[in-house]
Amino acid sequence: MTTVRDAVFDLLRRYELTTLFCNPGSTEVSLLTGLPDDLRFVLALHEGSVVGMATGWAIGREAPALAVLHTTAGLGNAVGAIATARVNRVPLVILVGQQDRRHLALEPFLTGRLDGLAGDYPVRVDQPVRAQDVPGAIARAFHEAATSRGPALVVVPMDDWEAPFEGETVAAPGRLLRPAAVADDDLAPLVELLSGALSPAIVAGARADWDSLVPLAELLGCPVFQESFGSRAGFPQDHPQYAGVLPADRGRLRETLSGHDVVLAVGAPVFRQYPYAPGPLVASGTVVALVTDDPAEAHRSPAELAYLASPGAVCARLTALLPARTGRGRHQPPPAEIPELPPLRAAHVLRELALRLPADTVLIEETPSSRPDLHRLMPARTPLGFLSAAMGGLGFAVPAAVGLRMALPDRPVVAVVGDGSALYGLHALWSAAHYRVGALFVVLANGRYAVMDRLADQRGEGKAPWPPFDEVDMGALARSLGCPAVRVGSYDELTAALDEIVPTLAARDSPLLLDVSVAVDPGFQP
Digit-coded pLDDT (tens) for 408-461: 999 999 999 999 999 999 999 999 999 999 999 999 999 988 888 888 888 888
Give start-end residues of each CATH 3.40.50.970 domain in the chain: 4-162, 346-517
**Which superfamily is assigned to 184-321 in CATH?**
TPP-binding domain (3.40.50.1220)
Percent of the chain with pLDDT over 70: 98
**Which superfamily is assigned to 346-517 in CATH?**
Thiamin diphosphate (ThDP)-binding fold, Pyr/PP domains (3.40.50.970)
Say what angle helices 134-148 and 4-14 make with each other, to 10 degrees. Answer: 30
Residue 286 has pLDDT above 70, yes or no: yes
Q: Which of 317, 351, 111, 138 minimizes the C-alpha distance to 213?
A: 317
pLDDT band at residue 109 under the 50/70/90 scheme = very high
Q: Report the distance separating Cα 75 and Cα 96, nearest Å.
A: 7
Instruction: Please compute the mean of the pLDDT values over residues 295-317 and round it to a whole number.
Output: 96
Cβ atoms 388, 366 nearer than 8 A:
yes
Q: Please list, in sequence order, all residues whose beta carbon lies within 8 angstroms of the beta carbon of residue 52, skipping any fewer than 6 positions away.
A: 44, 81, 84, 395, 396, 398, 399, 400, 402, 403, 425, 428
CB count in 10 Å sphere of residue 58: 29
Q: Report the distance separating Cα 427 and Cα 43, nearest Å.
A: 11
Amino acid type, 335: P
Instruction: Please compute the mean of the pLDDT values over residues 263-278 and round it to a whole number.
Output: 93
Give start-end residues of each CATH 3.40.50.1220 domain in the chain: 184-321
Q: Please tell me which residue, 335 or 101, carries the higher pLDDT value.
A: 101
Q: Which of 380, 116, 335 minimizes the C-alpha distance to 238?
A: 380
Q: Report the distance separating Cα 184 and Cα 396, nearest Å.
A: 40
Instruction: Please compute the mean of the pLDDT values over residues 494-512 and round it to a whole number.
Output: 97
| Model confidence pLDDT, tens digit, residues 43-87 | 999 999 999 999 999 999 999 999 999 999 999 999 999 999 999
Q: Report the distance separating Cα 392 and Cα 388, nearest Å.
A: 9
What is the value of pTM for the model shown? Answer: 0.96
Q: Report the distance separating Cα 523 and Cα 526, nearest Å.
A: 10
Residue 526 has pLDDT above 70, yes or no: no
Neighbour order of strands in the sheet with 124-126 = 40-43, 19-22, 65-69, 92-98, 151-157, 124-126
Class of domain 4-162: alpha beta
